[in-house]
């Protein structure tokens, strides 16, 4: 049977959709294995994520985190670096935000606090990525292992800091004090209420806009600056980059610092936008979700925003699912993430030969027409 190279749209849109469907198919099989009805489960999840205004707010609030961590993974991927330390970088980014807000929340106005907190989130996130980055660039240490180890180290460090340093004296729970209301990010429902628009309350806040701006920044940076060009060249071939006069080691450092800074910004949404205090495990797997998001979004900001909304829906819908079907736990969403990473990251082109045959069926007439006449 004849094959035909796939048209661009099939490569960019059709294959990712097929891969998501395959992942959901496997997830459905798991749900059936547990003894629940998969179609009903997906219906509950969809209803929970998009069916009512509050659900949509939650979906976009989760998506905000995933845009940050997804962009972080994507930037690193462009230099062929696999940063699975988003989890720890976001955790430490949140620490930076909390330090700024706990110190200055009574002293400075909001519009000064915001850039300071953003800067701290980026700085702390980047710092947590800096050591694995340095070891990869200058010592050749496997960045996947070192970033994972830094996730574990971050987790222990935060337990120590919360239990011994940030805890409110006399309190039993390892949490910092609540920030002054002056330091809270405005939520979308409060903001819209000022214009007389009434939407259901949800944690969705200003950081969603910051995430979208970060997406635009990444797009400009990766495709329209010389650093972005250097990053992609290093990703394509480190030795070719060296021949072209690019210092690959410096580029690896630069890429990972930006990646860590982006992951750290997830701390803005969680700490400044929603929790308003520093607490344990607020990252809740968002760093790992960033991997799935980046792979599904093909490392492009637009794709990442769309994939983030899908994962936001999975998280929010998954929370609703727990109430409806107590037999299915929250970790089902983690498993689905894994399936999506598998199908859209490792088995990306599994479906391609079949698709090429499928397109080949319709190709005959076109190819005869394409033969130039009169030569």
Partner 1 sequence: MDANITTEIISTLSATMRVSTPLILAAMAGIFSERSGIVDISLEGKLLAGAFISAAVAAVTGSAWLGLGAAIGVTMLLSLLHGFASITHNGDQVVSGVAINIIVSGMTVVLGIAWFHQSGQTPSLPNTARFMPLHLPGSEIIGSIPILGDIYTRILGGHNLLVYVAFLSVALTSWVLFKTRFGLRLRAVGENPKAVDTAGISVAWLRYRAVIIAGILTGIGGTYISIAQNASFIREMSAGQGYIALAAMIFGKWKPVPAMFASLMFGFLDALSIRLQGVEIAGIGQIPVQAIQALPYILTVAILASFAGRAIAPKADGVPYVKER
Q: Does 149 bind partner 1 (CB under 8 A)?
A: yes
Stretch near partner 1 under the rule CB under 8 A, chosen from 37-45, 208-216, 287-295, 354-362: 287-295
* Pairwise CA distance, residues 161 & 75, whole Å: 30
Report, in Å, the least distance between residue 76 CB and partner 1: 12
- What's the rounded Cα separation, in Å, for the pair 148 and 86? 9
Exposure of 31 by Cβ count < 10 A (0-12 exposed, 13-18 middle, 19+ buried)? buried
Cα 84–Cα 85–Cα 87 angle in degrees, nearest 5? 105
**Given candidates 8, 35, 194, 245, which one binds partner 1 under the rule CB under 8 A?**
35
- Told to check if 104 binds partner 1 by CB under 8 A, we report no
Q: How far is the CB of 184 from partner 1 (least distance, A)?
A: 30
- The size of the interface with partner 1 (CB under 8 A), counted in residues, is 50
Question: Half-sphere exposure (CA, 13 Å, Cβ side) for 235?
Answer: 20
Buried-state track 295-325, b at ≥16 Cβ within 10 A, e below 16: bbbbbbbebbbbbbbbbbbbbbbbbbbbeeb
Q: How far is the CB of 144 from partner 1 (least distance, A)?
A: 6
Taking CB under 8 A as the criterion, which residues in 46-85 touch partner 1? 82, 84
| Shortest Å, Cβ 371 to partner 1 | 25
Segment near partner 1 (CB under 8 A); pick from 51-59, 302-310, 323-331, 355-363: 323-331
Least Å from the CB of residue 34 to partner 1: 4
Q: Tokens 């088995």 — which residue?
A: 347
- C-beta closer to partner 1: residue 164 or 239: 164
Helices and strands in the chain: count of H runs, count of E runs:
18, 0
> Is 36 or 105 the residue whose CB approaches partner 1 more closely?
36
Among the residue ranges 29-37, 41-49, 96-104, 233-241, the one whose residues contact partner 1 (CB under 8 A)? 29-37
- Find the binding residues for partner 1 in span 330-369 (CB under 8 A): 331-339, 341-342, 345-350
Nearest to partner 1 of 212, 335 (CB atom): 335
Q: Does 124 bind partner 1 (CB under 8 A)?
A: no
**Nearest-angstrom CA–CA distance, 330 and 66:** 17
CA 226 – CA 221 distance, rounded (Å):
8
Which chain residues interact with partner 1 by CB under 8 A? 30, 34-35, 82, 84, 131-132, 135, 139-142, 144-146, 148-150, 152-153, 156-157, 159-160, 163-164, 288, 291-292, 295, 327-329, 331-339, 341-342, 345-350
């Amino acid at each position: 049977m004849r094959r035909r190279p796939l048209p661009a749209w099939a490569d960019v849109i059709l294959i990712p959709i097929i891969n998501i469907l395959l992942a959901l198919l496997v997830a459905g099989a798991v749900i059936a294995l547990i003894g629940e009805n998969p179609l009903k489960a997906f219906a509950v999840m969809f209803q929970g994520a998009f069916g009512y205004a509050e659900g949509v707010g939650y979906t976009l609030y989760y998506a905000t985190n995933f845009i940050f961590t997804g962009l972080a993974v994507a930037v690193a991927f462009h230099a062929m670096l696999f940063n699975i330390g988003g989890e720890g970088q976001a955790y430490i980014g949140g620490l930076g935000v909390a330090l700024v807000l706990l110190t200055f929340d009574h002293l400075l106005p909001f519009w000064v606090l915001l850039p300071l907190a953003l800067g701290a989130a980026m700085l702390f996130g980047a710092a947590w990525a800096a050591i694995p980055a340095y070891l990869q660039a200058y010592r050749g240490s496997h960045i996947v292992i070192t970033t994972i180890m830094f996730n574990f180290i971050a987790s222990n460090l935060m337990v120590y800091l919360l239990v011994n340093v940030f805890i409110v004296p006399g309190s039993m729970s390892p949490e910092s004090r609540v920030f002054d209301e002056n330091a809270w990010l405005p939520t979308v429902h409060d903001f819209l209420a000022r214009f007389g628009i009434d939407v259901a309350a949800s944690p969705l806040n200003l950081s969603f806009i910051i995430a979208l701006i970060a997406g635009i920044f990444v797009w400009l940076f990766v495709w329209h600056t010389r650093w972005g060009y250097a990053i992609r060249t290093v990703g394509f071939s480190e030795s070719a980059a060296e021949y072209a006069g690019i210092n690959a080691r410096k580029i690896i450092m630069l890429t990972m610092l930006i990646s860590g800074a982006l992951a750290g910004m997830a701390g803005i949404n969680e700490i400044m936008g929603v929790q308003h205090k520093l607490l344990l495990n607020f990252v809740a797997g968002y760093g790992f979700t960033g991997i799935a998001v980046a792979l599904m979004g093909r490392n492009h900001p637009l794709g990442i925003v769309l994939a983030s909304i899908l994962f936001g829906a999975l998280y929010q819908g998954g929370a609703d699912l727990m109430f409806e079907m107590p037999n299915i736990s929250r970790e089902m969403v983690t498993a689905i993430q894994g399936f999506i990473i598998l199908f859209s990251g490792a088995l990306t082109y599994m479906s391609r030969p079949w698709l090429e045959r499928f397109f080949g069926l319709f190709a005959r007439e076109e190819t005869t027409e394409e033969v130039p006449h009169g030569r």
